[in-house]
Amino acid sequence: MVVLGRIGAPFGVRGWVKVLPFTAQPQNLLDFPRWWIAPAGDGWRELAIAESRVHGKALVVRPDGCADRAQAQALRGT
């Protein structure tokens, strides 16, 4: 696996998160409807992306099934 970014803080209250990309062209990450994330100690798992957009130098995404800030917070750091 090649790590292309890190999920940061929740963005709003409807399940969106900020993504801090490690790439020169962050918008290219939005071309992929599914990402692989690695929660601490759990190994890799697939994450479907429901909505996404560029937000300054970062990205904001709403993972499929993520409906509130608490669920978004659980993804922080992956």
Q: What is the per-residue pLDDT across 21-74, written as a single tens digit (0 to 9) for each?
A: 999 999 999 999 999 999 877 899 999 999 999 999 999 999 999 999 999 999
Residue 54 φ then ψ, to 5° = -80, 140
Q: What is the per-residue pLDDT across 10-26, written as a single tens digit (0 to 9) for each?
A: 999 999 999 999 999 99
The domain made up of 5-74 is a member of CATH 2.40.30.60: yes
Question: Are the C-beta atoms of 55 and 5 separated by less than 8 Å?
Answer: no
DSSP 8-state code for residue 22:
-
The domain limits of the chain are 5-74
Residue in 25, 21, 18, 28 with CA at minimum distance from that of residue 3: 21
List C-alpha distances in Å: 19 to 8, 13, 42, 66: 6, 16, 20, 15
Using DSSP, state whether 28 is helix, strand or coil. Answer: helix
pLDDT in the model for residue 40: 78
